[in-house]
Each structure stands twice: as C-alpha cells, then as structure tokens.
Amino acid sequence: MSRRTSRVILATGLVVTAAVALTACSSGSSSGGDSSPAADLAIGSTDLSGVCPANVVIQTDWNPEAEHGHLYDMLGTDYTIDAQNKTVSGPLMSKGEYTGVNVEIRAGGPAIGFQTVTSQMYTDPDILLGYVSTDEAVQLSADMPTTAVYTPLDIAPTMIMWDPETYPDAKGVKDVLADGATVRYFGGSAYMEYLMAAGIIPESQTDGSYDGTPASFVAAGGKDAQQGFASAEPYIYQNEVADWMKPVKYQLINDLGYPIYYGAVSVRSEDVTAKADCLKALVPVMQQAEVDFYTDPQQTVDLILKLVDEYDTGWVYTQGVADYSIDTSLAIGLVSNGPNDTIGDFEDSRVSDVFDKIVPVFEKLGTPPADGLKATDIYTNEFIDTSIGLSK
C-alpha cells in the first residue's frame, strides 16, 4: 500500500529535487553464487562487450517487484546484492548465456529519496537506462529530455477501485461517480489533472489526500473510490488488509482516456544516437528477458523476494502479490504484444494521442514541455526486434 505513495507522484513528474548519486560499495553485500568477475565466462551468441559499457546500470522506479521481472531475469545465479545501496549486480545473461558485460539494477523510490528517475539519470552519468513514464518524459523535457526505447508494460496498471458491495450495479468509474462517490488520489497526479480538465471526473468529487495506505478507504466503509494499481491492490485488499479482506472492482485509467506508457525503459535523449550501437544489441535482450520471465518466472521472483528482504526498506512484498501481478498483468493485457506480435514497442498513434492530451495539462500547471517538443521526440522503436514477442 505505502509502496505506491511516491511511485505515482514520481510518475507524474511533479516532484523533482536535486538527486544524490548512489555509488556501489562492497559493504552490506551478499552473493547468490560466485561473486568473482565474469571474465572467465564464455560469451554466448549475444556479445555486448564491444558496444555497451562494461557495467550496464539501470535505474528502476521502485523497490523490486514482479513488474520489474524482465530486468531481474537478466541476472543468473551469480549476483551480488548491495543491501546498503539497494542494488544488485552480476553478469548480464541472455537465454542462459553470458553477454560479455555486467548489469547493475538499482532500486528506486525510498532508495533514491523518492526522486524522479529522470533526475537520477541526469545526476549520475553512469546510469544508461531508467524507468520514465510518458507524462514524466513530457513534463521534464525542457531541462532533462529522455527518450523511451522499450516498454515492458503495454498498459499502465494505474486504476480507480471501489467496493462492489456498496456499488453493486457499477460497471465503471462513471457509475460510481453518478452514485455520489468521491475519488481519493495522490494530489498533483497528472492523470487526475487530465481527467478533471476533460470533465471525466468532476473536481468536486475528488480528494487529493491519498497517502498510499488503506486506512481512509477502510474507514469510509466502501463509500469512497480510490486510486491504486491493478497488478497489486485488488489482491492486497482482499488478502492482506486485515480490516478489509474482501474484493474490490476497478477501472484502468487507460480505459478512462489516459493511455500513457508507464515506466518505459528510457535513455537521456542524446544517448539515442551516442549509444545507438549498444541499444541496438541490448534492447532485444531485454525483450527476450521479459518473454522468458513470463514463461517461467519463479526463479526471478525468488530473487525479487530476497532483494526486498535484504534491502529492508519497510516495504512488504509477498509471493502472493507477485503471483497475482504476473497472472493479472497477462490476463488483462498490462503485459502484452499490443496490436502486433512484438513485445515492448510503442504505438505511434497512441503516443501522439496522449501527448496532445497532456501538454495542456502541464502548461496549466506551469511546467510546460520543451519548446517545439514533438510526440516522436519522447520515444523510438528504432531498437526493437519485431520478431520477439509473447506466445499467443
């Protein structure tokens, strides 16, 4: 529950502070196997050593979780956990073979002082890739331009949920609102600014006091609706919130007309050209890792649960939530090939649509995008291997 408080605010780009670079150190580390350098490993069919940095650094937006499984799947059994700095590193693997470089995956959220991933990327040049949502990329483009090169989530998991016992006839948010519900959300969230501006949710029926905990939702006894993540909260509220323990229903913000790409893997925009040779080889490895993760996730989930335990940020993540996340992400299309047979690519018309919707929102908020910014500046399919996708 509290896992989502800063994550959503960060995704909107509305909280930007000076970042403090986190550097890896040996203290507080443990190994999942032999932690010696990978120089003695034979390089397999994919060789990144000639084109990518020796250590590929990836900054995530939150604590380790199943939604990040495609990253952690690139680690084999020989990894080193730095519990102090909330990182895990080891030989970067593809389909069980060494690629000639190492990968370092850094936790976000509390591990980086709840700063945006974008600000981290511009503070620490060692970071090659980071999770940046469409709205964050637009809003921060003037000073910190980023370009998405791969999207592990085809549809954003952000949703608005309600109690089906209180609203038994509700099919969607519109019905709940018609019955008088108030929608609780994180104040300042870009998606809600858009939904209010578009008249989809009346401002008079919103409450920006959500703090990420279930307390207010439970206290309202089902009267209020509330934002959350479709890949987590429905399971958590039904199975892990002791004062609730019953189902909720929800509607995705994607289906309310806000189809951003959430947590897209991105680079500093200048690196689209500067790191093109690396990205051309690396992005297909990430695509394949996601396919492999959703085909056989348990070994990677075991690592994720171990990382959560060793990082010890106060955040709780269980096998049950991980299982629910994986099953639900596939079932409702949060993770999918989209309209074609390729995983991780962007739909041109969809980016253009959401770009046109969110630019006026940020202009109204006083954080306009870069002058002359175009939708095509914030993403590219240049490095996507169109032959890689989930089996149907």
Give the confidence band of 392 by pLDDT, cuts at 50, 70, 90.
confident
pLDDT of residue 335: 98
For the segment 49-62, what is each residue's pLDDT rounded down to a tens digit?
A: 999 999 999 999 99
Residue 390: inside a domain: no
In a domain, 388, yes or no: no
Domain that holds residue 182: 158-256
Asked whether residue 389 is assigned to any structural domain, the reply reads no
Query: 211, 234, 256: which is the final residue of a domain?
Result: 256
Q: Are residues 219 and 240 in the same domain?
A: yes
DSSP secondary structure letters along 120-178: HHHH-TTEEEEEE-HHHHHHTTTTS-EEEEE-S-SS--EEEEE-TTTSTT--SHHHHHH
| DSSP collapsed to 3 states, 237-258 | HHHCCCCCCCCCEEEEHHHHCC
pLDDT at residue 15, as a whole number: 35
In the prediction, which pLDDT does 10 show?
33
Closest residue by Cα to residue 265 from 390, 132, 82, 136: 132
At 336, which CATH number? 3.40.190.10
275 within domain boundaries: yes
What pLDDT sits at residue 193?
93
User: pLDDT tens, 152-198?
Assistant: 999 999 999 999 999 999 999 999 999 999 999 999 899 999 999 99
Q: How many domains does the chain fold into?
A: 2
Residue 2 has pLDDT above 80, yes or no: no
Asked if residue 386 is part of any domain, the answer here is: no
Residue 164 sits in the same domain as residue 74:
no
pLDDT of amino acid 332: 98
Please give the Cα distance from 266 to 138 (Å, whole number): 13
Same domain? For 368 and 297 the reply is yes
Q: Spell out the residues 6+ positions from residue 37 whose beta carbon is closer than 8 angstroms to its own.
A: none
Using the predicted structure, report yes or no on whether residue 243 has a pLDDT greater than 70: yes
Give me 41's structure tokens.
Answer: 């490993």
Q: Compute the distance between CA of residue 342 and CA of residue 387 in angstroms, rounded to an integer.
A: 6
Token representation of residue 218? 């439970």
In terms of domains, do 317 and 203 share one? no
3-state secondary structure 286-338: HHHHHHHHHHCCHHHHHHHHHHHHHHCCCCCCCHHHHHHHHHHHHHCCCCCCC
Report how far residue 204's alpha carbon sits from residue 139's, in angstroms, rounded to the nearest whole number.
26
Q: Does the pTM exceed 0.75?
A: yes
Q: Taking a C-beta distance cutoff of 8 angstroms, is the pair 12, 191 a contact?
A: yes
With beta carbons less than 8 A apart as the criterion, state whether 189 and 195 touch: no
| Residue range 334-357: mean pLDDT, rounded | 97
Please state, rounded to an integer, the average pLDDT across all residues of the chain: 91
User: Does 202 have pLDDT greater than 70?
Assistant: yes
58 and 114 assigned to the same domain: yes
Q: What percent of the chain lies above the pLDDT cut of 90?
A: 87
Give residue 28's pLDDT.
Answer: 40
Q: Are 54 and 147 found together in one domain?
A: yes
The C-alpha angle with vertex 303 and arms to 10 and 89, in degrees rounded to 5, equals: 75
User: Is residue 383 a part of any domain in this protein?
Assistant: no
The reply to whether 49 and 124 lie within a common domain is yes
The residue among 50, 157, 59 whose CA lies nearest residue 108 is 59
Query: What is residue 225's predicted lDDT score, i.e. its pLDDT?
Result: 98
pLDDT score, position 188: 86
- Split at pLDDT 50, 70, 90, the class of 212 is confident
- Using the 3D structure, point to which of 256, 284, 317 is the last residue of a domain: 256
d(CA 266, CA 58) in angstroms, rounded, equals: 10
Last residue of some domain: 256, 271, 296? 256
Please indicate, yes or no, whether residues 91 and 117 belong to a single structural domain of this protein: yes
pLDDT band at 270 (very low <50, low <70, confident <90, very high): very high
Same domain (yes/no): 243, 323? no
Residue 198 lies in a domain: yes
- Determine, yes or no, domain membership for 10: yes
Looking at the fold, whether 283 and 144 belong to one and the same domain comes out as yes
pLDDT (0 to 100) of residue 39? 64
Q: What integer pLDDT is reported at residue 122 of this predicted model?
A: 98
- Residues 10 and 147 both lie in one domain: yes
pLDDT per residue as tens digits for the range 32-80 = 444 344 668 999 999 999 999 999 999 999 999 999 999 999 998 999 9
- Domain with residue 225: its CATH number is 3.40.190
**Is residue 7 pLDDT above 60, yes or no?**
no
Top-confidence residue, 7 or 197: 197
82 lies in the same domain as 225? no
Place of tokens 């909107």: 12
